[in-house]
Structure 1
């Protein structure tokens, strides 16, 4: 898929983005213009990010067109995220109502075996994502303990050095060094957990992005 970069479609989108304003909740909306070629959601995210915004969701707007839900980068307003945390975009019900999305979803199913528009498949991926995320967070917290101990004992060793207590300095430095080694060793399972979490959702996320891109490319001919 080739993004229609530098095209009149992109120029029109940037014009709309330039003129958009946030509402009282700190949220802004930008309609995605119709394009003959498919433009990925990732490309739109990049354009938005470069101009100080972030995409927090995608909705079906007026006349069946999709629109991006935006917030200013660094804002503290409530997130407007549709779906599970690993994807942002239209709901499956909205995508099922788009002919281009249905056709692309069928192609994804044939090519990868992933049924993107299946609620049960999405629920399964979501559950696995949550399970692996909890494991990753737990391992990360455990890895932080020896790091904290290494830092604290190092600080105490400096205090003991100032007090002229070489025996305490030696003991504290040994504890600090051992804690640092434990911390380094504990990073590997944490990194593996992070990779496993990304891998668990990679196929579904890639397929979902393709289906959304097809829907955005269609966006629809009714807007002409």
Structure 2
């Protein structure tokens, strides 16, 4: 059974989040919520939603900054939903990587139609990414599948997120801080034990001996890289 399409709503107004949640759930979507930019970034990295609905007026950071940070590591479709109606604000958001812009107040039917349109254009956010092959290991970034010697490996979301981030830059060292920021969010860059645990589980599932790695190499004190042979 396929997983339901997930929409992350980042908005500090509880009534707006409730309204959107009811409307989206009624259409069969799974809804995640965040009231701050930091929480939204963390949820986006952790759950890898199919669509992000972003308010610009957040209490801890401007939504334009949230958009900028998301675009450093994700191609997820972003629908900006904001009271800011000026042309300059719309242009800044669209130039910054937003896929669409809806001003408040808004009609829910138009909003849902725009959601459907964005999901048709890019149903997984990274559907155009290619696969990466390292010996017997294949990381299919388009369909979020990992195969070892032709057999699919079941990974958790975080395990896949770590491996996919390494696979996007084979042979390149990705720092612990960058991985933690991308996958757990900017408030967890010091929680290196989270990353060690996930990498350990990854190695077990990929049958990758850390003393003689075939896939994931540890760069002590720096981070990890995926072999590109």
Q: Shorter-chain TM-score: what band?
A: under 0.3
How high is the TM-score relative to the length of structure 2?
0.22
Larger Rg: 1
Question: Which structure's residues are more often helix, by fraction?
Answer: 1
Q: Which has the higher contact order (CA 8 A, sep 6+)?
A: 1
Q: TM-score, normalised by structure 1?
A: 0.22
